[in-house]
């Protein structure tokens, strides 16, 4: 099954690697050189699922060159344990870090601008330990001093942000969100996870949150998006009240384009992508397609 | 160390008493100093508890609130004083040790010379003591905190030393960060401000300035604990005496006596003022200063310690009665807390449209475990330990929020942060039990305040754009989102499930008035537990794309 899909994907890659797809995906020349636009894996452990996904994209070497500085940005927003599904799975973060280092990265740094007290979040989520075990550095993001002002020239509502200095200084930015329902934006996936690399989120909330997310997603596109859909929060997100909010979906989505991965994740969750404001707005702004037809998708079901 | 001390003559090793005193002083001063500085919140609450257990005023207040072994430290101090004299002042009190450091520094710098004998100022000391008792009895514990040496120490370190350390830390963190080293990270200034620092400095400068030239004059003139223990130590079993047979009146002991209480003309040591530092024992070249029991043979016969006189006893009895009266007054039921309108940081405009309806807060929010505002105001001396320990820095010394009774006692400032749902650290470290230690499960159900939602201020209503920041942060879903219009949702509140953590207020983007905020509960209540419902566990078999 898997091999057949892989082969089919390979053929698809050749057939669809056209300028049209390039334009649609809009994330640079690199994306079209990849065999797939989207890899979806199901029914495995997060680490094994990622191994398969990244292998089918040609390995982490397709994204990380020797001696590059890499930022891996999980969701570490809440001071709760991994079982609560409010943060990215720590095992996945560790495995992503390991792949980056194996590909020759000079250093891999992990951070988030958290919602709860940052040290508690880093610790309770298990991500600090896991990232360090994987060989990454764990950096703080709790103080405005770590952030630098940047313009958002094409932003409709968001015209300026303060970005974390690590995001400004890195060669490769790997976005590792967790799929959750969200009180404010229906869903939080890849684009919404970018709110953890900026400082003044209050402005976003006060000035058309969906538009601000879309504006910034067009401005700062990650090089790779890895969506953790292992434990998926289906109620009371993004923080959740208890483990009762969680469905164990055991899935993983990987794509270079944040909009593509958000569309796929929304469908996986059971929500129409066009019902999520920022997905629709980002599509209208030209970030990518809102339908997955015509994309080269590798579906891996173990 | 010191002015010719550690002189050991002809097999009379008397230096060990002094060395033991210094060892204890290092432990208590160093430990408590670190507790008030602890930038990374790494110090265990058990260690903090051990160091604060014998601190006199916190322990006595804890006894008033919750008698028991955990509050028995001040009894131990009283007993210890009856046996050994005021060793508390020399070895346990961090403000006392801080003054010793200042005295020493000023002598190294040549700002002050040798100590001389000074006459006691007992009436003045008793007057200050009476003021302290009155403040405490009237419930002005926050003001009393200026006189309590433990709390004064906490304020000095918290308001003056900590900001300096934080600034230094942040410079180092910035420097190391530029090399990709993140082990040292930036730390919030917490409640530190120039105003608070200036205020603390102005009121707490006295012990530091006095100590530069006059050693422990503050402890014998201003400090109410010093005065009380001075009255007790008149009867102490062991005390410092002059052996008139051995004394050659060289005056070396006087020159190192920071309590200025050795009167060689009379050949006597004022036991009420002696803080049992044992410097005199170490410095005496003739073994003419002894530390021992009263009536102990040769020393006793050559009476060299001032005995409690009739007047002192009368004064002591009077004061003791005042203390008892004060304590009982403190224990009486609370006066209602003053109602005060509190406004947040109303100036930072964040949302597209300015909000129009003012916040109406009737009460400030006291920390979870304090039981309520009146109880808290009575028992908190504003030592700053919880302010230092609070990981989210939501606890800030109040200025006007509680009124005069709660001046500089910590309150929850949701403008700067919010109370972490799973954190109970403030109660774990509070030495007076003004904030009771709560188990995490119990803390999660304490309602310190109640949420108020002003729909017309909310951006969902006023600008028709999505927000939901409040519901996103609410740990109990007392704030949740319900359908509004055009695919939008708007907050709805369930006040009985609100714990008053202030997360919603902290993140609400509307200005100048927030659409959602917490009004303090004068008496804390019990919140209803969060509702329970398990989500549908169906997972699609195939990819839906």
pLDDT for the residue B523: 98
Which of B475, B470, B436 is CA-nearest to residue B453?
B470
Verify whether the Cβ–Cβ distance B352 to A277 is below 8 Å. no
* Residue B403 to residue B385: CA distance in whole angstroms: 21
Q: Which domain holds residue A52?
A: 2-301
pLDDT for the residue B286: 87
**Closest Cβ–Cβ partner in B391, B465, B510 for A209:** B465
Q: Is residue B539 part of a domain?
A: no
Q: Is residue B453 part of a domain?
A: yes
- Structure confidence by residue, pLDDT tens digits, B295-343: 543 333 334 566 555 455 555 555 555 555 544 444 433 333 333 333 3
Taking the CA of residue A58 and the nearest CA in chain B, the distance in Å comes to 22
- Structure confidence by residue, pLDDT tens digits, B235-271: 999 999 999 899 999 999 999 999 999 999 999 999 9
| Range in B31-45, B100-114, B236-250, B338-352 the model is least confident about | B338-352
Taking the CA of residue B151 and the nearest CA in chain A, the distance in Å comes to 27
Verify whether the Cβ–Cβ distance A207 to B489 is below 8 Å. no
- Structure confidence by residue, pLDDT tens digits, A28-66: 445 568 999 999 999 999 999 999 999 999 999 999 999
Judged against a pLDDT cut of 90, whether residue A151 lies above it is answered with yes
Residue B200 C-alpha from the chain's centroid = 13
CB of A260 within 8 Å of any CB in chain B? no
B177, B178, B440, B466, best to mutate vs chain A, most A CBs in 10 Å: B466
Judged against a pLDDT cut of 90, whether residue B28 lies above it is answered with yes
Angle at A280 between CA A278 and CA A285, to 5 degrees: 90
**Closest Cβ–Cβ partner in B188, B392, B465 for A208:** B465
pLDDT for the residue B216: 97
User: Do B497 and B505 meet the contact criterion of CB atoms below 8 Å apart?
Assistant: no
* Residue B367 to residue B395: CA distance in whole angstroms: 8
* Residue B74 to residue B56: CA distance in whole angstroms: 5
What is the rounded average pLDDT of the residues B383-408? Answer: 92
Q: Is residue B542 part of a domain?
A: no
* Residue B330 to residue B470: CA distance in whole angstroms: 39
Q: Which domain holds residue B511?
A: 373-526
Say whether both B293 and B440 belong to one domain: no
Mean pLDDT of chain B: 88
Neighbours of B325 (CB within 10 A): 12
* Residue B506 to residue A202: CA distance in whole angstroms: 10
A67, A69, A116, best to mutate vs chain B, most B CBs in 10 Å: A116
pLDDT for the residue A32: 67
Verify whether the Cβ–Cβ distance A207 to B472 is below 8 Å. no
Say whether both B271 and B394 belong to one domain: no
Chain A residues closer than 8 Å to B468 by CB: 182-185, 205, 209
Say whether both B269 and B408 belong to one domain: no
CB of A148 within 8 Å of any CB in chain B? no
Say whether both B407 and B292 belong to one domain: no
Verify whether the Cβ–Cβ distance B466 to A277 is below 8 Å. yes
**Closest Cβ–Cβ partner in B468, B480, B534 for A244:** B534
Taking the CA of residue A108 and the nearest CA in chain B, the distance in Å comes to 10
Residue of chain B whose alpha carbon sits nearest to that of A245: B535
Q: For residue A257, give both structure tokens.
A: 């384009």
Judged against a pLDDT cut of 50, whether residue A13 lies above it is answered with no
Q: For residue B370, give both structure tokens.
A: 């304090």
Please, which pLDDT band fits residue B202 given cuts at 50, 70 and 90? Answer: confident
Residue of chain A whose alpha carbon sits nearest to that of B353: A206
Which of B474, B424, B467 is CA-nearest to residue B451?
B474
pLDDT for the residue B351: 73
- If one counts the domains in chain B, the total is 2
Q: CB pairs below 8 Å between A and B: how many?
A: 143
CA B118 vs CA A164, B230, B273: distances in Å: 62, 16, 10
Neighbours of B8 (CB within 10 A): 12
B535, B537, B538, B542, best to mutate vs chain A, most A CBs in 10 Å: B535
pLDDT for the residue A5: 43
Say whether both B202 and B72 belong to one domain: yes
- Structure confidence by residue, pLDDT tens digits, B153-178: 999 999 889 999 999 999 999 999 98
Cα dihedral value A255, A261, A264, A267, nearest 10: 160
Please, which pLDDT band fits residue B405 given cuts at 50, 70 and 90? Answer: confident
Q: Is residue B329 part of a domain?
A: no
Element housing B451 (H / E): strand B446-453
pLDDT for the residue A295: 96
pLDDT for the residue B478: 97
Beta-carbon-side half-sphere exposure of residue B145 (alpha carbons within 13 Å): 30
pLDDT for the residue B13: 57
- The three state secondary structure string of A48-79 is HHHHHHHHHCCCHHHCCCCCCEEEEEECCCCC
CB of A207 within 8 Å of any CB in chain B? yes
Neighbours of A88 (CB within 10 A): 32
Taking the CA of residue A293 and the nearest CA in chain B, the distance in Å comes to 8
Neighbours of B456 (CB within 10 A): 11
Q: Is residue B353 part of a domain?
A: no
Q: Is residue B122 part of a domain?
A: yes
- Domain final position from B278, B301, B324: B301
Judged against a pLDDT cut of 50, whether residue B211 lies above it is answered with yes
pLDDT for the residue B432: 96
- Structure confidence by residue, pLDDT tens digits, A261-284: 999 999 999 999 999 999 999 999
Which of B423, B394, B518, B473 is CA-nearest to residue A115?
B473
**Closest Cβ–Cβ partner in B174, B422, B536 for A79:** B422
Angle subtended by helix axes A277-284 and A258-269, to nearest 10: 150
A9, A39, A160, A207, best to mutate vs chain B, most B CBs in 10 Å: A207
CB of A170 within 8 Å of any CB in chain B? no
- Give chain A's count of helices (H) and strands (E): 13, 12
Taking the CA of residue A217 and the nearest CA in chain B, the distance in Å comes to 17
Q: What is the DSSP letter of A198?
A: B
Helix (H, G, I), strand (E, B) or coil at A226: strand
What is the rounded average pLDDT of the residues A216-243? Answer: 97
Beta strand pairing call for A69-74 and A172-176: parallel
Please, which pLDDT band fits residue B196 given cuts at 50, 70 and 90? Answer: confident
Which of A197, A198, A201, A187 is CA-nearest to residue A261?
A187
Q: Is residue B537 part of a domain?
A: no
Domain CATH for A244: 3.40.50.11440
CA B460 vs CA B374, B455, B515: distances in Å: 38, 9, 10
- Structure confidence by residue, pLDDT tens digits, A92-123: 999 999 999 999 999 999 999 999 999 999 99
Judged against a pLDDT cut of 60, whether residue A130 lies above it is answered with yes
Print burial letters for B163-185: b (CB count within 10 Å at least 16), e (below 16): beebeebbeebeeebeeeebebb
- Structure confidence by residue, pLDDT tens digits, B118-149: 999 999 999 999 999 999 999 899 899 999 99
Taking the CA of residue A59 and the nearest CA in chain B, the distance in Å comes to 23
**Closest Cβ–Cβ partner in B421, B469, B545 for A184:** B469
Judged against a pLDDT cut of 90, whether residue B472 lies above it is answered with yes
- Domain final position from B301, B319, B341: B301
Q: Is residue B336 part of a domain?
A: no
Q: For residue B277, give both structure tokens.
A: 């530092």
Taking the CA of residue B424 and the nearest CA in chain A, the distance in Å comes to 13
pLDDT for the residue B197: 78
pLDDT for the residue B495: 98
Angle subtended by helix axes B310-331 and B122-137, to nearest 10: 10
Say whether both B95 and B209 belong to one domain: yes
Share of chain B above pLDDT 90, in %: 76
Chain B residues closer than 8 Å to A206 by CB: 350-352, 459, 467, 509-510
Share of chain B above pLDDT 70, in %: 87
- Structure confidence by residue, pLDDT tens digits, B516-537: 999 999 999 999 999 999 999 9
Say whether both B260 and B388 belong to one domain: no
Judged against a pLDDT cut of 50, whether residue B345 lies above it is answered with no
Taking the CA of residue B471 and the nearest CA in chain A, the distance in Å comes to 6
What is the rounded average pLDDT of the residues A236-262? Answer: 97
Share of chain A above pLDDT 90, in %: 88
Residue of chain B whose alpha carbon sits nearest to that of A230: B539
Verify whether the Cβ–Cβ distance B509 to A183 is below 8 Å. no
- If one counts the domains in chain A, the total is 1
* Residue A101 to residue B218: CA distance in whole angstroms: 62
pLDDT for the residue B199: 78
CB of A205 within 8 Å of any CB in chain B? yes
What is the rounded average pLDDT of the residues B99-111? Answer: 95
Beta strands in chain A, from DSSP E residues, in sequence order:
38-42, 69-74, 107-110, 137-138, 147-151, 160-164, 172-176, 178-182, 186-188, 224-233, 246-255, 297-301
B445, B467, B531, B545, best to mutate vs chain A, most A CBs in 10 Å: B545
Angle subtended by helix axes B149-156 and B56-65, to nearest 10: 110
Mean pLDDT of chain A: 91
- Structure confidence by residue, pLDDT tens digits, B14-27: 789 999 999 999 99
- Domain final position from B301, B325, B349: B301
pLDDT for the residue B167: 94
CA B463 vs CA A69, A207, A220, B456: distances in Å: 41, 8, 26, 10
| Residue B142 burial class via C-beta count within 10 angstroms: exposed 0-12, middle 13-18, buried 19 and up | buried
- Structure confidence by residue, pLDDT tens digits, B418-428: 999 999 999 99
pLDDT for the residue B318: 57
């Amino acid at each position: 099954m898997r091999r057949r899909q892989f082969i089919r994907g390979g053929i698809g890659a050749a057939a669809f690697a056209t300028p049209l797809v390039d334009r649609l995906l809009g994330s640079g020349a690199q994306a079209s050189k990849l065999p797939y636009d989207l890899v979806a894996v199901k029914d495995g452990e997060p680490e094994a699922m990622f191994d398969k996904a990244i292998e089918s994209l040609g390995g982490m070497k397709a994204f990380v060159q020797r001696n590059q500085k890499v930022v891996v940005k999980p969701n570490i927003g809440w001071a709760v344990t991994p079982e609560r599904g409010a943060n990215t799975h720590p095992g996945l973060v560790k495995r992503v870090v390991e792949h980056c280092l194996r590909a020759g990265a000079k250093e891999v740094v992990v951070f988030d601008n958290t919602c709860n007290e940052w040290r508690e979040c880093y610790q309770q989520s298990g991500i600090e330990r896991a990232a360090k075990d994987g060989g990454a550095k764990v950096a703080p993001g709790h103080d405005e001093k770590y952030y630098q002002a940047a313009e958002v020239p094409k932003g409709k509502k968001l015209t300026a942000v303060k970005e974390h200095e690590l995001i400004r200084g890195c060669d490769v930015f790997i976005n590792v969100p967790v799929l959750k329902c969200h009180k404010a934006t229906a869903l939080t996936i890849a684009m919404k996870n970018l709110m953890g690399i900026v400082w003044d989120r209050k402005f976003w909330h006060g000035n058309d949150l969906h538009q601000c997310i879309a504006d910034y997603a067009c401005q700062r596109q990650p090089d790779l998006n890895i969506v953790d859909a292992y434990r998926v929060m289906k109620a009371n997100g993004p923080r959740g009240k208890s483990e009762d909010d969680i469905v164990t979906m055991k899935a993983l989505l990987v794509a270079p384009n944040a909009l593509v991965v958000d569309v796929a994740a929304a469908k996986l969750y059971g929500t129409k992508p066009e019902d999520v404001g920022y997905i629709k707005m980002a599509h209208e702004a030209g970030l990518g397609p809102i339908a997955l037809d015509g994309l080269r998708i590798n579906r891996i079901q173990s | 160390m010191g002015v010719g001390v550690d002189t050991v003559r002809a097999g009379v090793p008397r230096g060990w008493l002094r060395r033991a005193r210094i060892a204890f002083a290092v432990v208590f001063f160093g430990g408590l100093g670190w507790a008030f500085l602890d930038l990374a919140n790494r110090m265990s609450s058990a260690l903090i508890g051990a160091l604060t257990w014998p601190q006199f005023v916190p322990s006595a207040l804890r006894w008033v609130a919750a008698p028991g072994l955990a509050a028995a430290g001040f009894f131990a101090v009283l007993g210890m004083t009856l046996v050994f004299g005021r060793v508390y002042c020399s070895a346990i009190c961090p403000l006392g040790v801080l003054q010793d450091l200042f005295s020493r520094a000023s002598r190294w710098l040549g700002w002050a010379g040798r100590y001389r004998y000074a006459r006691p100022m007992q009436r003045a000391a008793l007057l200050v003591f009476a003021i302290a008792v009155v403040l405490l009895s009237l419930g002005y514990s926050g003001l009393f905190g200026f006189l309590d040496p433990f709390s004064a120490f906490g304020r000095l370190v918290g308001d003056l030393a900590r900001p300096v350390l934080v600034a230094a830390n942040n410079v180092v963190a910035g420097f190391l960060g530029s090399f990709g080293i993140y082990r040292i990270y930036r730390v919030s200034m917490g409640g530190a401000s120039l105003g608070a620092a200036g205020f603390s400095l102005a009121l707490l400068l006295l012990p530091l300035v006095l100590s530069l030239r006059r050693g422990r004059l503050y402890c014998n003139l201003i400090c109410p604990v010093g005065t009380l223990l001075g009255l007790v130590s008149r009867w102490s079993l062991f005390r410092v005496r002059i052996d008139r047979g051995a004394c050659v009146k060289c005056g070396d002991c006087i020159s190192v006596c920071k309590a200025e209480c050795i009167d060689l003309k009379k050949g006597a040591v004022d036991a009420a003022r002696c803080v049992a530092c044992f410097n005199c024992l170490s410095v005496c070249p003739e073994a003419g200063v002894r530390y021992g029991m009263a009536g102990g043979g040769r020393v006793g016969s050559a009476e060299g310690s001032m005995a409690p006189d009739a007047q002192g006893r009368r004064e002591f009895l009077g004061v003791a009665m005042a203390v008892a009266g004060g304590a009982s007054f403190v224990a009486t039921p609370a006066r209602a807390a003053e109602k005060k309108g509190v406004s947040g940081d109303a100036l930072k405009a964040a949302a597209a449209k300015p909000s129009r309806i003012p916040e109406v807060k009737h009460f400030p929010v006291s920390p979870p475990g304090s039981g309520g505002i009146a109880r808290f105001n009575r028992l908190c001396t504003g030592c700053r330990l919880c302010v230092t320990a609070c990981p989210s820095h939501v606890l800030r010394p109040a200025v006007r929020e509680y009124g005069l009774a709660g001046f500089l006692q910590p309150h929850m400032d949701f403008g700067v942060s919010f109370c972490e749902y799973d954190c109970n650290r403030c109660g774990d470290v509070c030495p007076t039990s003004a904030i009771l230690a709560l188990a995490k499960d119990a803390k999660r159900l304490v309602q310190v305040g109640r949420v108020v939602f002003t729909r017309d201020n909310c951006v969902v209503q006023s600008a028709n754009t999505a927000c939901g920041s409040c519901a996103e942060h609410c740990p109990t879903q007392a704030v949740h989102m319900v359908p509004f219009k055009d695919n939008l949702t708007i907050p709805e509140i369930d006040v009985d499930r609100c714990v008053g953590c202030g997360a919603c207020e902290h993140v609400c983007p509307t200005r100048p008035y927030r659409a959602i905020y917490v009004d303090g509960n004068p008496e804390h209540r019990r919140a209803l537990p969060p509702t329970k419902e398990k989500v549908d566990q169906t997972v699609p078999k195939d990819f839906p794309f």
